[in-house]
Amino acid sequence: MSLGGATLIMGVVNVTPDSFSDGGLFVDRQAAVEQGLALARQGAAILDIGGESTRPGSDPTPLEVELDRVLPVVRELKERCHAVISIDTYKAPVAEAAIEAGAAMVNDVTALKGDPAMAGLCAKSGVALVLMHMLGSPRTMQQDPQYGDVVAEVRDFLAGQARVAIQAGVDGQAIVVDPGIGFGKTLDHNLALIRNLPALAQLGYPVLLGASRKAFIGRLTGRDKPGERLWGTVGAHVLAAALGADMVRVHDVAPLREALQVADAVMAAPVWP
């Protein structure tokens, strides 16, 4: 299934001291709110608020710390802009509190594997649910990740977790799938997953792709600093949109919006003959 038309932009609002790409910039809650408002003005339909870094090698954040970081930001952004608020967490108590504070989407990077209560919570509250593929945990995921057939394995895992969600009562229409670029993947795995997004789109759920500022872009472009990977990020997401992504998760909303306006218009033109 495709949402058709415009590729939706999910703007990243990390309220963490240690995310790989923008860590430390927005641990100040007010700064995170201002960043979210700016991204919404620039064209983010969704704001994804996260209070635990999932960068390679990172440790989990205690529940209370995560709640304290994200809840005021969710509440204030819900009040002050029209974007859909997404909570980037795999912990059901964080998701539940964020939903009460106004979140309408749960972005679970463990695809329901992190907390047995998550599927039931999403079913009960009727929120949209992003299921993302990750191999292992953030602490270990980049230590020599191995697949037989990465595209088939990621697709089959996501199909299976979507079935788990639906069995728990989640509306199939509310499910979004994401191959999890950089989460237990080599450069070649990431490239294969983007190139073969049509195989993921065939599952029938909207597809989200998050390649923004990630290490594989640095590998390809020679840009060591995540903040300098904008042009590579644009390249990755324009192609992702052409290959079947319905939504992209990015830090730099304004340039991505213009790039995707052009990409979406080209893809909407009639195919000859």
Residue with the CB atom nearest ligand PMM in the bound state:
210
Any contact of residue 132 with ligand PMM (CB under 6 A)? yes
Work out the widest C-alpha separation in the chain, in whole angstroms: 59
CB closer to ligand PMM, 99 vs 109: 109
CB atoms within 10 A of CB 223: 17
Is residue 188 exposed (0-12), middle (13-18) or buried (19+ Cβ within 10 Å)?
Answer: exposed
**x/- track of binding to ligand PMM for residues 168-207 (CB under 6 A):** ----------x-xx--------------------------
Active site annotation includes 80: no
**Tokens linked to 172:** 């199939």
Number of residues interacting with ligand PMM: please give it, by CB under 6 A: 19
Any contact of residue 130 with ligand PMM (CB under 6 A)? yes
Position 177, amino acid: V
Smallest distance, Å, CB 232 to ligand PMM? 14
CB closer to ligand PMM, 40 vs 130: 130
Strand order in the sheet with 128-132: 175-178, 128-132, 105-108, 84-88, 46-50, 8-14, 247-250, 208-209
Span of 18-26, 74-82, 154-162, 264-272 interacting with ligand PMM by CB under 6 A: 18-26
Closest CA to 108 of 74, 142, 132, 128: 132
CB closer to ligand PMM, 105 vs 266: 105
**Tokens linked to 122:** 């999403």
Smallest distance, Å, CB 146 to ligand PMM? 20
Any contact of residue 21 with ligand PMM (CB under 6 A)? yes
Q: Which of residues 34-53 bind ligand PMM (CB under 6 A)?
A: 50
Any contact of residue 107 with ligand PMM (CB under 6 A)? yes
Smallest distance, Å, CB 180 to ligand PMM? 6
Smallest distance, Å, CB 246 to ligand PMM? 13
Any contact of residue 14 with ligand PMM (CB under 6 A)? yes
Determine the distance from the C-alpha atom of residue 225 to the mean position of all C-alpha atoms in its chain, rounded to a whole number. 21
Choosing from 75, 155, 185, 249, which is the catalytic residue?
249
Any contact of residue 19 with ligand PMM (CB under 6 A)? yes
> Do residues 77 and 41 touch, judged by C-beta distance below 8 A?
no
**Residues tagged active-site:** 214, 249
- Residues binding ligand PMM (CB under 6 A): 12, 14, 19-21, 50, 54-55, 88, 107, 109, 130, 132, 178, 180-181, 208, 210, 249
